[in-house]
Amino acid sequence: MTIKKILNNTFQYPTSNKSRKIISAFLGSFIFSFLSIFQPFNLHNVEIDRKFFIALGYGMIAFVVIFFNHKITSRYFKNHRISIKGLIGWYFFNSFTTAVISSSYNDIIFNGVLFTLDSFLKFQYYIFVLFLIPSAIIIITIRSNRMKNIYIAQNKDNVNFLSEKIVIHTENPSNNLKIEASNLIYITSANNYVDIYYLTENKVKHTLLRNTLKNVEEDLQEFSNFCRCHKGYIVNLRKVNKISSGVNGVKLHLNIAETIIPVSRSLSKMVRERIKEFIQ
């Protein structure tokens, strides 16, 4: 995997108000604890009864700045996801803004002025380094919880998926097709009909039904593994074993049928993200 692909790789990032408070409180608490224990920034020269309150001030600055930065920037997280590249930029932004206010706070406490260049540069370095450890812990925790939730959801979904039947409706209710969800491979449009490809007795068969792909998509909306990947195709992502791309766009290769499913260019990013849960 190239560096560009690594930087563009995205993952789920919590953007709820509760999550913002937890993340901000953790970073603020880390700053407060670190300063209370190691006492940099002239804290070792301060009377013991003032050290706690000064260190608490730095922690509160970190909490408030991170909380509002998170609130402002989370609207740019597309579908609550952020890329590694975006995360790095977000880290620099948080570090810079926290250091700016912290350096002014330091100058007011110890120098009686609002701003000095020496304090500004020193805090840019210290805050950037200090944020590395708690930020890494947060990202690892988010990722591990995300993987755990996916595992639980997939196993729960597997039980339902293997036993549940799907009803694909037609204009004539007597022709409705009832099929096990695990056997449905893909559906393609054919003029005023849809062509349903499914597995029965270990063989791939297909049935033409008078309906639209949009209506079939509604029949399948409760199943997260079915994806409208093209204006003319709906595919069962569980049946995909390979995804390829070339001059003709992205293609999905199935582990049962020989048909190669095309992916619309406008939907390729969405399909790549969704398929990660079903293909290794």
- How much is the CA Rg of the chain, to the nearest whole Å? 27
Amino acid residing at 136: A
Give the model's pLDDT for residue 194.
93
CATH T-level topology, domain 175-275: OB fold (Dihydrolipoamide Acetyltransferase, E2P) (2.40.50)
State the chain's mean pLDDT as an integer: 82
Q: What is the helix (H) or strand (E) element at residue 206, kind and residue range?
A: strand 203-210
| Distance from C-alpha of 162 to C-alpha of 182, rounded to nearest angstrom | 5
State residue 45's pLDDT score. 79
Q: Per residue in 235-262, pLDDT tens?
A: 999 889 888 888 888 999 988 878 899 9
- Look at residue 241 in the predicted model and tell me its pLDDT: 86
Task: Quote the CA–CA distance of 47 and 41 in Å, as a whole number.
Answer: 14
Q: Name the residue ranges covered by the structural domains of the chain.
A: 3-158, 175-275
Q: Across-strand partners of 186? A: 197, 235
Collect all residues with Cβ–Cβ distance below 8 Å to 207 and sequence separation of at least 6: 177, 195, 196, 198
Q: How far is CA 2 from CA 12, 92, 204, in A?
A: 21, 23, 38
The pLDDT score that the predictor gives to residue 12 is 62
What pLDDT digit, counting tens, does each position of 189-203 carry?
988 899 999 988 888
- Residue numbers of the chain with a pLDDT score lower than 70: 1, 10-12, 15-16, 75-81, 143, 145-163, 279-280
